[in-house]
Amino acid sequence: MTKRKKEKIEELAGIEREAAAKKILEQDKHINLLTEFELTTLLKRHEVPKPGDGKVFEQRAKWKAILESGKAAPVHEQWKVDEEEVMIRLELMQSQ
């Protein structure tokens, strides 16, 4: 896998995490009502190492610390059409 392709895959994963976290945040749930899955998603969005590790109360503590710090999550740019076309061509070339 080329470095460029790997970067694009990571960028796409970041965009997907961003969308999933946004859906959770739009529900405006109290921190104590967030499920383990929701907390893991939010922690992944903020690129917390090993976000699924630990018990729910530990994940809540991590999420609360992020909220209290006001730390913004990393921003991921959307793919442009020409970048998508280049990626498709690269994938086709590699499959031959």
What is the pTM for the complete model shown? 0.68
Task: Specify the 3-state DSSP secondary structure of 25.
Answer: helix
Q: What is the mean pLDDT of the chain?
A: 79
Region 48-59: mean pLDDT is 87
How long, in residues, is the chain?
A: 96
Residues 30, 57, 17, CA angle at the centre, nearest 5°? 65
Q: What are the extents of the domains in the chain?
A: 3-95
Q: What does the alpha-carbon distance between residue 58 and residue 67 come to, in Å, rounded to a whole number?
A: 14
Region 2-25: mean pLDDT is 80
Q: Is the pLDDT of residue 42 over 70?
A: yes
Check: CB of residue 20 under 8 Å from CB of residue 40. no
pLDDT at 33: 93
